[in-house]
Amino acid sequence: MELGSKVPKVDLSVQVGKLTLRTPIILASGCCGYGFELLRVNDFPWEDVGALVLKSITVKPRVGKPPPRVAEVTAGMLNAIGVQNEGIGAFMERIAPRLAELPCAVIASIIGTTKEEYAVLANALNGCSGIAAIEVNISSPNIERGGIEFGVDPKAAGEVTELVRRNWNGDVWVKLSPNAHDIALIAQSCSDAGADILVLTNTVPAMGLDVRSFPPKPLLGAVVGGLSGPAIKPIVLRKVYEAVRRLRQIGAKAQVVASGGIWRAQDIVEYLSVGATAVQVGTLLLHDVHAPRKLRTGLEEYALWVHKLMNDEKWLRISSYIGCALGACEP
Amino acid sequence: MTMEQTCYQIMAEVIKRDALNRFHRVHLLAPEIARNVQPGQFVCIFLDDGDSLKLGTSLGVRFIMPRPFSVSDVEGDEIEIAFSVVGAGTAAMAQLKVGDSVRLLGPLGKPFSWCDGHDVALLVGGGMGYAPLPFLSKVLVRMGVDVVAIVGAKSFDELPVRVTNRCVLEVGDVHLAADEFAKHGVPSAIALEQPHADAFCGTAVDLTLSWLKANEHRKVAVYACGPKEMLKCLQRILIERAIYGQFSIEERMACGLGLCFGCACKVVECGKECYKLACVDGPVFDAHMLAL
């Protein structure tokens, strides 16, 4: 850099549905509690967080799965938390009134064991002013009924989406499962039913055993759970690519938010390049509570490099990267 | 109160190292944590370096989850962590050298607390579980509390503490104490399951029971940490004798902050079983409420 020359400023903002986010970095549901837990972290980089998604809420309280609920595996983490929460009643009474204290946009996540429960939850949340959107969880692998059942069936996914659409006034985000046979079809079905945003994806159904004892013992108390972390990124990248292509082919206005194994800024670049509008970060936040700052810095460095390479101001805007590799990805 | 305590993520330099068999001690320079940590609280150690997120650098994904450790002592701006090698993470930690840095998050969790109205604090550590107790003994002594300690292990070679013949607790025919307690002026006794001339022959729980029987006139508060089986036996004794106690428990953790609900442990509250989180509701729990 020459003396006196200034480093250009990178614009990280993105428009996700009706929300303008200051960065494309969203904290994923189940990995940021109810947000308040982060307020005690010294120097937490709120300015680098676009939004956060609360832990999933159910109609009735759920005690959750037996321990151990988490386990480390190669390049990833297994979990079977089982949606431990106190139910919508306790949420509305104790958590909802405090959400305005959080220094970023808040999205609520809901999960039902029946389709009707999704409607009940969506309707109840209309009374909560601190919530900018609802994320419909039809992809948790850790709930006995509901959850992923709806996420692998295009018809059921559409029906749940439509029920939430009818009962909730704001944007509807739907979180999909990587287990769907044809994720593009599920995405299309949810989009047709009125979803504004599709979040790809939840954890990959998985398990692990501890061979230090014999016979080997399951790593998780619930035996089976979901895999997250860097191990799943290439899988989810393909899912995002497939969903984006379909949505663009049919001219749907629904956007895609990518969620899966982001560990450094270049992972975000990959997701944006195949058409994701923003990303969610989960396991990485557990691993490093300062991660949003490191990711933002990495994104800025990348944008400055591209700006210099292409000699075009537009590459200083992160939103320009959305879908920029789709041409190169044409078979 | 603990929920609102500020926690810090810092890079901490290794100041001092020592090892005894598979038992290790690391002194870390962590002023923000050393100044605020209370006995029973813990830190999370993250073994990937702080640069792993940078563009173009190699991706450190070997250790996704943190390793939680109780703080076993505080000296000025340094905290002491004691651990034994049990898996890949602790094996990597055993390789730490003076001058290396690790990423630390802390202080975390609910600390031990002293309950007025008791005459004496009995600290019981099973194996490596002794770790949070020396720091507790130091703080209790400073408060003017009468403190005694018991450390148990399978055999002499499995003892995670340094033995001494200073400051030996008068119980049975024991001539060995733990230096970790002696240095704070706290009498202690060693229990070994494999017979040893100078130690109590039996488990830490057996020795606890002997000491309790010899001190029936005193109002005791028990503080313990160790294997689940040990805590189970100890809990039965506390219930039978209506003795107050606090246990520090261990669970696998993914964040240390209550973000993920991963470190659940079962408790009985108002006659109903439910899960609490070891990282924010614990790791110290009322000994009577744990469903062990």
Per residue in B7-27, pLDDT (tens digit) is 999 999 999 999 988 899 999
- Per DSSP, helices labelled H in B48-114 are 88-94
> How far is the alpha carbon of A297 from chain B, nearest alpha carbon, in Å?
8
Is residue A181 packed enough to be buried (19+ CB in 10 Å), middle (13-18) or exposed (0-12)? exposed
Edge-to-edge strand list for the sheet holding B146-153: B200-201, B188-192, B146-153, B120-126, B220-225, B244-248, B284-286
Position B51 confidence tier, pLDDT thresholds 50, 70, 90: very low
Indicate the residue of B105, B260, B275 with minimum beta-carbon distance to A30.
B260
What is the model's pLDDT at position B182? 97
* First vs last C-alpha separation in chain A: 39
What is the model's pLDDT at position B50? 45
A331 has a pLDDT exceeding 80: no
Cis preceding-peptide flag for A234 (omega within 30 of 0): no
Position B1 confidence tier, pLDDT thresholds 50, 70, 90: very low
pTM above 0.90, yes or no: yes
Is residue B146 packed enough to be buried (19+ CB in 10 Å), middle (13-18) or exposed (0-12)? middle
> Helix crossing, A265-273 with A291-310: angle to 10°?
60
A242 has a pLDDT exceeding 80: yes
Contact A64 B64 (CB under 8 A): no
**ipTM of this complex:** 0.94
Contact B61 A229 (CB under 8 A): yes
Query: Among candidates A244, A259, A285, A275, which has minimal Cα distance to A137?
Result: A259
What is the model's pLDDT at position A35? 97
Q: Which pLDDT tens digit goes with each residue over A276-301? A: 999 999 999 999 999 999 999 999 99
Tokens of A151: 């996420």
What is the model's pLDDT at position A27? 98
**Residues for chain B: how many in total?**
292
Contact B55 A266 (CB under 8 A): yes
Question: What are the DSSP E strand ranges found in chain A?
Answer: 14-16, 19-21, 25-27, 51-53, 70-73, 76-79, 105-110, 133-137, 171-176, 197-200, 204-207, 209-210, 217-218, 224-228, 255-259, 278-281
Tokens 């509690």 — which residue? A33
**B242 dihedral zone (left: phi>0; alpha: psi -120 to 50; beta):** left
Residue A93 φ then ψ, to 5°: -80, -45
What is the model's pLDDT at position A3? 61
Q: Find the chain B residues whose C-beta atoms sit closer than 8 A to any C-beta of A.
A: 3-9, 32, 46, 48, 50, 52-57, 59, 61, 63-66, 103, 105, 251-255, 257-266, 273-275, 280
Query: What residue ranges define each of the domains in chain A, with the CATH number in brackets?
Result: 14-64+83-204+229-321 (3.20.20.70)
Above pLDDT 90, what percent of chain B? 85
Chain A's closest residue to B5, CA to CA, is A40
Contact B252 A68 (CB under 8 A): yes
The letter for the amino acid at B4 is E
How far apart are the C-alpha atoms of B43 and B220, rounded to whole Å?
29
Edge-to-edge strand list for the sheet holding A70-73: A70-73, A76-79, A224-228, A204-207
The letter for the amino acid at B218 is R
Contact B97, B14 (CB under 8 A): yes
